[in-house]
Chains A and B, each alone.
Chain A
Amino acid sequence: MNFLNPLYLFAAFAAALPIIIHLLHRQRVRIEEFPSLEFVRKMLRRKTRRFRIKQLLLLIIRTLIVLLIALALARPTLMSGSAASGHMPTTAVIVLDNSYSMGRREGNRVVFEVARERTLELLDYFDRKDEVYILTGASGGMPVNETGTGDMEKLARQVAEAEVTFSGTDLVTPLRRAAAIVKESANINREIYLVSDMQRAGWPSTPDEIDGSGSGAKLLVVDVGEEIPNSCVKDLSFRIPSGTDDLYMDADFQRYNSESGQGRVAEVSLKGNLLERAVFSPGDGAEERERFRLPPAAGILWGDVRLAADRLEADDVRYFALQARTRRVGIVGDAYYVRTALSPEGGGLLRPVEIEEGGLGSADLAGIDILILSNVPRLAPLEIEAVSSFMEGGGSVIVFLGNRVDTGAYNRNLLPVLGDAAIEDVYGGESGFYSIDRFERDHPVFAKFESDENPFEDIRFYRFMRVNPGSGSVIARFSDGSAAAVQMGDRAVLFTFPADDSWTDFPLAAQFLPFMHEVSLFLSSTMGFGENYVVGEEVVVRVARHEGEAQLDGPTGTSLVFPQLVGHGQGYRIDPPPFPGVYFLKSADETLSVFAVNVDAAESDLYKISEGDMGADIAGMDVRRIRGAEDLGESISVLRRGRELSHTFIWLALLLLLAETVIASDLLTRFRGADNNDAFEHL
């Protein structure tokens, strides 16, 4: 038994009052002299014994009444001996993990089937007075039942129809939602059940991500599945060496929880045809990279890298799609050095297009992938609107500041379109120079520069503009700590120096050419070149102008979603695709764009979260975890409150009060009856 209002248990001390009163009264018994006890002696002994028994009975009853009232106020509840019945109304949220890792086979069974059975088993412990919700634990997954119901048959049907998805695990969202549901509930029992394989990657990374405090909820984790060995194709990346049309693909393979030394065969297919086969053999938890050369970049390339299937098949294949078309880079302002760097020999995938200063508002940007504003003094309102529309349609912008820039106009008009950075002032002079001495080596822009030495060490910057990056990310800094390059969002980069030789000798340096290529490729990679979307992630594709309605062909060959037109017809926002594979966006017979959707590689790690790490992460909730075939009923009966006993105690107190009244009035009647005795009127 435990109590909902345990503080009221202090009122139980009041049960001592009748005892104290009784003892005080006993001490006050007077001694009366009496002539003769002849008549009363025997009678007294008999009656006194009876009276004392009655008094003791009354004392016990009165003490019990006070005690019962105190207990009733404390709202005692029985722990549910039988979880299936006799429990108090319960609000329960069951989070069913249907991420793709649940689709692995263990023995002859898929883990998700086990999870589904355990969920159905859970439903046996509820009845119509309860309110049960069922959410799913996959990223972007649809809940099984989000409205809550006491109709267990309906829930059972819905659970039976639930399927494992290709999404990664997201337990934070449903657990947060579950905590909110139980917190709002008026029911005494508030339970959250998590039926999951408990991958460490899917568990909240910080303790405060889920706030269960104040909810009084109990979380029972029903852990299914084992930590089995698993290999996956973790990532694919593409390289086009500058100035060439050669295309290379780097495939990263990873093996978890497996004996090392066993080689796995990986096959690369292009447009459905086997292109190359390789063997990789990383150790347990290790990663190995294999490089494959694809045919010269031209047109649309799509395919996959596939491992021989293991028990978790979803991550054994990784799809890719490339639109190896020429990227058009629009340049406004000082174009010489930029144009030369992007296409030094007039070839390659990057094709610079010069746009006249002041003509941006009327220029046709439909075919432009990247827009570079090089030391442009200011932009007219129409041009600002064009830039905004260009970015909304998926275009990227590179801004070089410089001696011609009107800082006020930039701060007011252009920079707010890109982000929240702001130019402060021009810094530096003729007497000295600065260099870039810190940069984010892991950033794709600098990935090309693999040397440990600083490739920009010798480059001199005599002047630059000091910029407050706002929420932007500073990816390179000058020697005085000022920002040299700021990434704003994923479609804009701001350089605080010019792309000419007015303030720096960078455009004259050898590093300028690869640097401009990497920046351009980095920004264009978000526009359909080697995209790698994750299942459940919204897709935004940029396409050229076309006639007619667009439709999407997915891996099943069916048009799954109809894209929505965004950004003045230059791009499409597509609902998160539910299946991995290669998707084709088409209009009539023309392929507008192609992109690949893959499963979340983090899901491949099947290691489970440890008990210690798990408990600490759910704030304010009592967490309990059962594994395998442990008895659900027993676990539920421990955490569930059974019948509330307040009413029972109140009724008992009333019955005792009635008994007390009867016994006391019996004594009173005797007392009064004795007074009415008129046998001695003559005396």
Chain B
Amino acid sequence: MTEAYRKYLDPAVISRLKGIDVKARLVVEGFVTGLHRGPYKGFSVEFAEHRQYMPGDPIRHIDWKVYGKTDRFYIKEYEEETNLRAYIILDASGSMGYKSDGISKLEYGCYLAASLAYLMLKQQDSVGLLTFDTKIRKYIPPRSVGRHLHAILKELTGIAPAEETDLGMSLYELAQRVRRRGLIIVISDLLDDEDKVVRGLKLFRHRKHEVIVFHVLDPYEVSFPFENEVILRDMETGEEVPAVPWDIRREYRSQVSSWISRYRSVLRQSGIDYVPINTETTFDVALFSYLEKRQRMG
């Protein structure tokens, strides 16, 4: 049963399912089942239940009283008690609609946002959603009630890529709007002016937010695997440029690599978690990153 859920971490599998709520649930279930030895469960203060000790569990969580009574090791699990406010900011610009094979970046972002929302709400955190393209398209304020998930999922279900983007400006506006400190989760391909994007993200940090950026790219954007001569059409501007892919691939990949490296370096210096992923990356990578961030935040 455990392994059966693991498959739902695969975006290709998830994309075949119907209903984003189901997708989110299965992703999180799949993720959680892999956490039985991990450090990310049980950091709440309110006791929930006991479970049998498994090798790898922290020894400090062993309930010695139960051991004294039963001569067996049991681990104490707690209900989380939190006041975390998380904002999931999803880029719905035109470039996010790109998909080479499998699912688009926006779809991947939706599944990831839904899974994060599901996970956070399950952990009693407050979670809100902002979608934007050239401007803020939708804002769902954070809440921690269970039915809030429905509102988020509904918004994610109907989302479609816009034609253009202005990520820098949108982030700036969002930073102005989100005043209460919390966790800012940005899901975007960051295809905009690099400086403006970084300035927008730094503004969140300036306002004391914790920021984690999921930089979603398509595998083709990374590897540029086209073989024959093609005409490349910009999805946002419609500009067409003839290209000989195999002739420019090396340089292209070098530039993309530098671009990612620059983001990683600049954002790290600003205390922003930067997670580059592509649409074939299993969701647990992003969820682990979130949990790590969550843990660091206490």
A interface vs B, CB < 8 Å? Answer: 28-41, 43-45, 47-48, 50-51, 667, 670-671, 673-675, 677, 679-680, 682-683
Contacts and interface: CB of A to CB of B under 8 A. Distances in A.
Query: Which 4 residue pairs of A and B lie closest in terms of their CB atoms, listed nearest first?
Result: A674-B249, A35-B95, A671-B246, A51-B244
Contact of B253 (A35, A48, A674, A682): A674
A40 B248 contact: yes
A31 B242 CA distance: 9
16 contacts: A30-B228, A30-B231, A34-B233, A35-B105, A35-B221, A35-B234, A36-B234, A37-B232, A37-B239, A38-B191, A40-B243, A43-B248, A44-B243, A48-B244, A680-B222, A683-B276
A411 to B, nearest CB: 96
B226 interface: yes
A683 B189 contact: no
A670 B257 CA distance: 18
Contacts of B191: 35-36, 38
B235 A674 contact: no
B232 A671 contact: no
Contacts of B230: 29-32
Contacts of B242: 29, 44, 48
B229 A677 contact: no
Given A36-B234, A47-B243, A683-B281, 10 more contacts: A29-B242, A32-B226, A37-B239, A40-B243, A47-B247, A670-B246, A670-B247, A674-B246, A675-B249, A677-B249
Interface in B242-282: 242-244, 246-257, 259-260, 276-278, 281
B127 to A, nearest CB: 27
A674 B247 CA distance: 8
B250 A683 contact: no
Interface residues of B, number: 47
B46 interface: no
A564 to B, nearest CB: 93
B244 A36 contact: no
Nearest to A41: B241
A33 B230 CA distance: 10
B244 to A, nearest CB: 4
A36 B97 CA distance: 11
Nearest to A678: B253
B52 interface: no
A675 B191 CA distance: 24
Contacts of A682: 276
B241 A37 contact: yes
Nearest to A670: B247
Residue among B95, B222, B232, B259 facing the most chain A CB atoms (10 A cut-off): B232
B228 A35 contact: no
Interface of B: 95-96, 98, 105, 189, 191, 217-219, 221-223, 226, 228-237, 239-244, 246-257, 259-260, 276-278, 281
A43 B224 CA distance: 14
A32 B233 contact: yes
A43 B234 CA distance: 15
Contacts of A39: 252, 255-256, 259
B98 A33 contact: yes
B243 A48 contact: yes
B247 A680 contact: no
Nearest to A40: B252
Nearest to A36: B191
Contacts of B246: 667, 670-671, 674-675
Nearest to B278: A683
A677 B253 contact: yes
B218 to A, nearest CB: 7
B231 A44 contact: no
A40 B243 CA distance: 9
B244 A47 contact: yes
Given A31-B231, A31-B240, A679 B248 contact: no
A671 B235 contact: no
Given A29-B242, A36-B236, A44-B241, A671 B231 contact: no
A47 B276 contact: no
Contacts of B233: 31-34
A369 to B, nearest CB: 106
Contacts of A48: 241-244, 247
Nearest to A667: B247
A444 B206 CA distance: 144
Contacts of B257: 679-680
Residue among A36, A39, A47, A682 facing the most chain B CB atoms (10 A cut-off): A36
A35 to B, nearest CB: 4
Given A31-B230, A33-B235, A683 B222 contact: yes
Contacts of A683: 217, 219, 222, 260, 276-278, 281
B231 to A, nearest CB: 5
A32 to B, nearest CB: 5
B241 to A, nearest CB: 5
Contacts of A675: 246, 249
B248 A44 contact: yes
Nearest to B243: A44
Contacts of A45: 241
Contacts of A44: 232, 241-243, 248
A29 B232 CA distance: 10
Nearest to A673: B250
B103 to A, nearest CB: 14
Nearest to A26: B229
Given A30-B231, A40-B232, A35 B244 contact: no
Nearest to A38: B191
A451 B250 CA distance: 116
B28 to A, nearest CB: 24
B259 A36 contact: no
Contact of B247 (A28, A35, A671, A677): A671
A44 B219 CA distance: 20
A43 B228 contact: no
Nearest to B219: A683
A362 B242 CA distance: 117
A132 B174 CA distance: 102
A36 B95 contact: yes
Nearest to B245: A674
A396 B278 CA distance: 124
A31 B243 CA distance: 10
Contacts of B277: 683
Contacts of B222: 680, 683
A34 B98 contact: yes
Nearest to A32: B230
A29 B226 CA distance: 12
A656 to B, nearest CB: 22
